[in-house]
Every structure is written in C-alpha cells, then in structure tokens.
Amino acid sequence: MNQLDALKQFTTVVADTGDFKQLAQFKPQDATTNPSLILKAVQKADYQHLLKDTVAQFRDRPLDETMDRLLVRFGCEILSLIPGRVSTEIDARLSFDSNATVTRGERIIALYQAQGIPADRVLIKVASTWEGIQAAALLERRGIHTNLTLLFAFCQAVACGQARVQLISPFVGRIYDWYKKSAGAAWVEAAHAGASDPGVLSVRQIYNHYKKFGIATEIMGASFRNVGQIRALAGCDLLTISPELLATLAACDEPLERVLDAGAARALDLQPVNFDEASFRFALNEDAMASDKLAEGIRAFCADTVKLEHLMRAA
C-alpha cells in the first residue's frame, strides 16, 4: 500500500487544485479551489475555453456575477470527477463585510443549484476574519455550509467552532514559511520538521481542542510545503493536498501511521476557551504571525482576483 492509500484509511484526502484534469489519478473525496488556483488554471490551454465561454455567455452581466459563474463552472467540472464536495471562495475583497459575504455566498449556491448541484456538495470559502466568521455563522443557519480559510491562529479556530461552521482550513505551510523567514539564518530545518513543524503544532492544538470539547467543525489541514507535514498530521479529519504532493505520497511505499487520535485528545487536561469580538481581535493582534499571514493572504487573493478580472475583460 502506498502512503496516499494508507492516509485515506484515517483521513479524508482532498485535492487542492483548479487543474481538475489531474484529479482522476488520485481519487480524492473532495476538492478545494481559490482565486490563485483558478487564475493559474485559466492560463493553461486546457482551461482557457472555460473562461472564454463563460465571458461570451454572460458578457452583459456585472463582472462580479460573471466571476462567480466562472468559479461555479470550474466547481461543476470538479464535482463531475469526485464523489464529495468542492470549496468555492468568496471574493477576498469582501473579507470585512459580513452582509456582502452572505449575499455572495447565497448567489454562488443558487448558481450551483441552477446547474443541478445540491447545496450540500458545496462549501463556501470565507476568510477567517471576525466579519467572515459571523457571515459564515449566518450562512450555516440558512443551510449553506462553509469552509473558513486563511486560518493561522488558535483564536480563529475557536471562534469558528463557536460559530458552528462546517469546516476550517488551517494553513500549515504558510505558518511554517513565517517562522522560517523570521528565524533567518538561525533556522534549523531538522529541529522544525515533522511533529515539531510550527504549522503542524498549530493544527495539533486545534485538533486537540475540538476533539476534547466535542466541537463538530471539521479540521482540514491545508497549504503544505512537504510530505513530512502531511505525514505528521495523519489522522486529521481532512487534508487538502496539491497534485504534486499527492503524487509524492502515491510514489512512496513506506509505512504511514496514524498520528492524531480523537480518543487521545479527549483524555487531555485542557481548559475551555471562548472569544467574543473584543477578545478575538486582541488575541489575533497579539499573534504577529497570524496577523501578518491573514493580511498577506487576503491581499494575495485580492490581487489574483483582479488579475483574473483583467483576463475576463480581455477575453
């Protein structure tokens, strides 16, 4: 058994890509996308027709609606190849506007339903700002499930659990990136690998908290830089993995053991934690890594959305 098949025994494997033609060989349960992945995909010859066809069909509609239709077009193609769910992201420029996020999420779901896709096969991705989390809570109450992304801090995870969102995506690799860059020449890779990786440690803390206190929100580790990070989180509810790292796992026949265990987490001596808006904002502000990476991530997704809009105008 290769390591990808072994991982699937105790973790739901999710493909992190807009390049849906790569999906069949890895047989993931779910798939995730984001503006950067869609931008990368539409610049490939295999996918340019999706952009051109969508723009041609809806050229008379507002650009933001045409954008959502393009995202849904990719999502529908992905759902034709997988048995589970696809995550489709809200425009990151709405990350601090709860009402606009709810409206956009409802529209995306309506577009999927118009294509015959039931709402339970779609997760609406929302940035884990305070406003995003509140919007997600409202969407969940309306029967629309959410994936809270750009999650770097424990306080974000706790607030998402309180909001009863469907799923969170802690960004393992970006946490690792920040600490490595911050340490500079003092960074020792071997000392921060596997179970000692700062991104892995963050997800373990969240996993233990959720399982200890019976929080139903699913945890999906994301943004991996190497297979060591993936192996160290074997047993997490879900892991979303790039095609390149999926291929690496599939090519390795060494044993892979479960690392995270809900029963062991429930036995831990942990104290309950809760956040209101003020304490959430303060905790996030106190976490330099999370503050930096959340802001940076929103800016990057915004920039790629603008680039995608330029391609749509030129199509």
**pLDDT per residue over 18-68, tens digit each?**
999 989 899 999 999 998 999 999 999 999 999 999 999 999 999 999 999
Catalytic residue among 40, 44, 125, 211: 125
pLDDT confidence band for 92 (50 / 70 / 90)? very high
Q: Within a 10 A sphere around the Cβ of 223, how many other Cβ atoms?
A: 25
pLDDT tens digits, residue range 232-272?
A: 999 999 999 999 999 999 999 999 999 999 999 999 999 99
To the query of whether residue 125 is one of the catalytic residues in this protein, the response is yes
Q: What is the pLDDT of residue 247?
A: 96
For residue 300, pLDDT beyond 90:
yes
What is 155-205 written as a DSSP string?
HHHHHHHHTT-SEEEEBHHHHHHHHHHHHGGG--GGGGSGGG-HHHHHHHH
For residue 284, pLDDT beyond 90:
yes
What is 34-70 written as a DSSP string?
-HHHHHHHHTSTTTHHHHHHHHHHTTTS-HHHHHHHH
* Annotation: CATH topology of 3-314: TIM Barrel (3.20.20)
Both tokens of 107, joined, read 């529209």
For the stretch 279-296, what's the b/e string if a residue is b when 16 or more beta carbons lie within 10 angstroms of its beta carbon? ebeebbeebebbeebbee
For residue 151, pLDDT beyond 90:
yes
What would the mean pLDDT of 89-103 be, rounded to a whole number?
98
What would the mean pLDDT of 139-164 be, rounded to a whole number?
98
Q: Kindly list the domain boundaries of the chain, sorted by start residue.
A: 3-314
